Structure formats: C-alpha cells, structure tokens
Amino acid sequence: MKNVDQDSKTLIGWRKYPKTRQKDFLSALRNIKKIKGTKQEDNVQAQWYAVLNYCFADYKENKDYATHIEKLLQTDGLMFVRNITVSMNLITEFKSDVSMSKRLEQEKILAQVIYYLKRIEEHIAEGNTLHLEMPNVVLAADVDQVFVINARVLWDYLKLPLGADWEKLNPRYVYDNLEPKILYERLEEDRNINPYVYDVEAKDFDVNDVIGLIADLAVTDDVHNLTKIPVTDANIRGVFDEFSRLVTQGKTKLTSQEQVGMFITALTDHDSFLIKKQYCYTKKRRWNVS
C-alpha cells in the first residue's frame, strides 16, 4: 500500500497480516457468528484488536510511536500511531450482526461515533489527561462486514447546535433511537459519506486491504496526499461498486454489462465523461441511468 515515491516520514508504517493468521481470523469470525448479542460483538472486537495491534502497534518501526488499541472514554477502542510528521488516530466501533451495507445502518454507526468524537474533543479541551488526539480514521466492523472512512468528514458535525443533547444523550442511545433528528437529517444528506463495505466472507477478502486503507486515510488531508493502492480484484470491485452506486443511486435499468462499459469509459475517457441528472455523457455516447 505504500507509495515508494513518497517520503517515508509522511506515511503510516504497518506490516501485513500473514495468510496463516488471516485464516485463523476468518475461521474465528465464522465461529463467532453462531454467538448472539453482545457476546458476539465482544468477540468480533477481540479479533480486530489482534489484527490492529499486530499490524500497527507491534510493528517494530512503530515501537516508539504507537499505542495498543484501548477502550478509552467508553469508545470501542482508540489507537494512535504518532509518526514524526503524521499520525494515525483510529476510533473503532463494533457491532453484532447488522446490515452495514445499508445506508441507515452506516448513519446510525457514524452518529454514535460523532458523539464519541464530541467526548474526545471536550476531553482534549479540558486538559487532555489521556493525551488523546482527534481521530482521523473510523473503522466499523461486525462479524462479516467492515468499512473504513476518513473521520475528518465528521469533524464539522461537532459544531451542530445540539445544545443540551450533546450532554444529555449517550452515544448508544443515539444509535438505538435515531436521535437527535437534526444530526440524522444532516447525515442522510451528506454525500461525502460513501464507505465501501468489505464482505469478510468474500473469497478474495484480504484484511490487508482494510489495514492499508486505514493507513492511507490517516495521511489524506486532501487530494495531494493520496497514495497508490494495489490493483486487486477486491479493490477493482470496490471502486466499480462505488461508481455504480453514486451514478445510479442503486436504481437503474442498465444491464450489468452496460454498467461495466460505462465504468470503463469513465476510466479511459474521464476528461469528457459528464454526469447530469439521470444521464451520463461522453462526446460519443449517452447513458440513461434512471
């Protein structure tokens, strides 16, 4: 996942999770799926803790920079890798078996995370005895799905005029009851929140794709800091699925073959590829995606 042309001081160091460990990780998740309720969530958390600690905290190059993931301020886990010029400040949220591919579930999880971010922000302002930094990456996972987003897109939510609701409502209540409404309305309208949801049970799932994405997003303040990712079946599928979802909003009469053709055209003729209302255009062709 590292871009060899980029100064190493601007990258987050990590090591790959070995295939043998991945096999055990996936086997454990399959067994955990038989457990229900909070015990399932706790076991999912333990499996991901092992992965994250191995890849980041226990990596020898991070010896003087990284912390092991820990449940602080009632979060499901915070981890920090403070490099010389950049840092990875990860906040995690784990669930029992939920439908993470559904937009509403993503909004519920992120609403809960936003409330944790508010607690972290207040803790830092009040003296920061735990030596925290504002999270810049979110990892959310259940027994068979996981997504990662840039937490910076959530920072502006901390300015919402929620008044007493910031203190009165706890993060779990926010998740369970879809309140406060102003927060959920804002999340529903936010087009910057479009996570790719990894299917852990997919044949080509590689946990290193998730770890690499975490490391990349940690240093992605803007487009100038984007790093290269490997061309793998999972990554290509992820980009295609996200492209199709954004263009068609999940509703289209186009066949799968037509969608693939449109996707390839967007990649190869991107300078003339335009999206307007229900149509996609190039100089030579037009698609009705509604």
Of the two residues 92 and 227, the one the predictor is more confident about is 92
Residues 238 and 104 in one domain: no
| Domain assignment of residue 43, yes or no | yes
- Using the 3D structure, point to which of 229, 252, 282 is the last residue of a domain: 229
pLDDT confidence of residue 246: 67
| Domain assignment of residue 105, yes or no | yes
Residues 152 and 246 in one domain: no
pLDDT confidence of residue 254: 75
% pLDDT > 90, the chain: 60
Residues 266 and 221 in one domain: no
CA distance 154 to 176: 19
Per DSSP, 221 falls in state S
Residues 210 and 250 in one domain: no
Split at pLDDT 50, 70, 90, the class of 224 is very low
pLDDT confidence of residue 267: 74
H/E run at residue 276: strand 274-276
- Using the 3D structure, point to which of 196, 229, 262 is the last residue of a domain: 229
Residues 36 and 54 in one domain: yes
% pLDDT > 70, the chain: 82
| Domain assignment of residue 3, yes or no | no
- The residue-averaged pLDDT of 194-215 equals 91
CA distance 197 to 68: 25
Residues 17 and 95 in one domain: yes
CA distance 132 to 92: 14
| Domain assignment of residue 84, yes or no | yes
pLDDT confidence of residue 257: 77
Split at pLDDT 50, 70, 90, the class of 29 is very high
Split at pLDDT 50, 70, 90, the class of 236 is confident
The answer to whether residue 2 scores a pLDDT higher than 90 is no
CA distance 289 to 247: 7
- The residue-averaged pLDDT of 39-50 equals 96
Residues 290 and 168 in one domain: no
Show the domain range for 266. 231-290
Residues 126 and 165 in one domain: yes
Q: What domain count does the chain have?
A: 2
pLDDT confidence of residue 38: 86
Residues 42 and 18 in one domain: yes
Residues 225 and 237 in one domain: no
Assign residue 30 a region (left: φ > 0; alpha: ψ between -120 and 50; beta: otherwise). alpha
**Whether this model's pTM surpasses 0.85:** no
